[in-house]
Amino acid sequence: MASSIDEIKKLMTDVFISKPAVIAAYNLDVTKTFEQQFSVVSIESIIFYIVAFCCFVQQTLFDKSVTDTNTALATKKPHRLQFYAEQAKTFQFGFPLLADKSGFDNTGYTTDEIEASKVVDYSAVVEQENQFGRVFLRMKLAHDNGTDLEPLAVGQFTAFIAWFKSTQRDGGVKMEFVNQPADDLKQSWTIFYDPLILSDTGARLDGSDNQPVQNAIKGYLKNLPFNGVYAPTYHTDAVQLVPGVVIPQLRTCSARYGSLPFAAVNDFYTPDSGYLRFANTVTDLVIEFIAQTPIK
């Protein structure tokens, strides 16, 4: 990580004013710093600043180079899980392939048409074992409709599988593709709130937000990384940050995927579909508000 210009300059000036020849030439006081003995507009200070700035630029460029190199290695190197996940996002629905099948032929299409054809907005790949102990890759997909995540349309999903298996998958690699609605979540909360800030329904008294607590609960789910691990403790921490919330208590939490029964979530939960939502915020998100003055 690049040092600041001031840090680099200080390293140089500290060495400079410690030299006996410099102390004698400038009649310096060894108990004082460089800044205490040289004006910021002195030629010495200006020269050190210029050199420090050049070093700062060099370090910053080096940091960016390292970051870009690491990103390229993680996302472009074949046979890695992240490589497959990134390749999935390059799929263009309804577009022809180039003759060598190395990519899509965008000849004659506008930028907007090209972007609209990229229907895979989120992708994650995990390695799993089947009942016989054989390893396979499981790819989870989702489309961003501008409001929230959703599965790809049936035709899009069918075309994607055909394209990925024939042009992207390495020979012999077994894959399963997941294109599902969000895993369902059910929760009940008790929110102890400051009656000087929130009402008994959780609305802000200043009228700026009618559902700040509900929005924070749902917003946390939306901000989770795709296929990220859900932790009830972190969810509670996020709700604690809502102005007016004194103590948030997550009473019950359960989740399911597909048509399976709901199961309690105590510590961690990784959504089978890659994302987690309340199917019905009226029945699946129950909140009890109890007035409580701030605890000091």
| Amino acid identity, position 230 | Y
φ/ψ of 143, rounded to 5, equals: -115, 140
**Residue 290 phi, psi dihedral angles, 5° rounding:** -130, 125
Distance, CA of 280 to chain centre: 26
Angle, CA of 50, 52 and 56, to the nearest 5°: 115
For residue 40, the model assigns a pLDDT of 86
- Per-residue pLDDT for 75 more than 70? no
Distance, CA of 119 to CA of 154 (rounded, Å): 12
CA gap 96, 118 in Å, rounded:
13
Q: What's the pLDDT tens digit per position in 105-120? A: 999 999 999 999 999 9
Cα distance between residue 10 and residue 65, in whole Å:
26
**Tokens at 79, concatenated:** 């046979």
With CA atoms as reference, report the closest residue to 213 among 187, 191, 231, 230.
Answer: 191
Residue 87 DSSP code: H
Residue with tokens 């609209």: 116
Could you tell me if 139 and 88 are in contact, meaning their C-beta atoms sit under 8 angstroms apart?
Answer: yes
First to last CA, the chain: 40
For position 73, what pLDDT does the model report? 66
Domain map (residue ranges) of the chain: 5-75, 82-178, 183-291
pLDDT digits (tens, 9 = 90+) for 245-262: 999 999 999 999 988 999
Q: With cut-offs at 50, 70 and 90, classify the pLDDT of residue 76.
A: low
Residue pair 150/142 in contact by the 8 Å Cβ criterion:
yes
pLDDT tens column, 216-237:
999 999 999 999 999 999 999 9
In this predicted structure, the answer to whether residue 189 has a pLDDT above a threshold of 90 is: yes
Q: Give the angle subtended at the CA of 164 by the CAs of 160 and 166, to the nearest 5°.
A: 120
Q: Is the Cα torsion angle 198, 201, 205, 210 positive or negative in sign?
A: positive
> What is the pTM assigned to this prediction?
0.70
What is the DSSP annotation of 152-209? PPHHHHHHHHHHHHHHTSPTT--EEEE--PPEEEEEEEEEEE-TTTB-TTS-BTTSS-
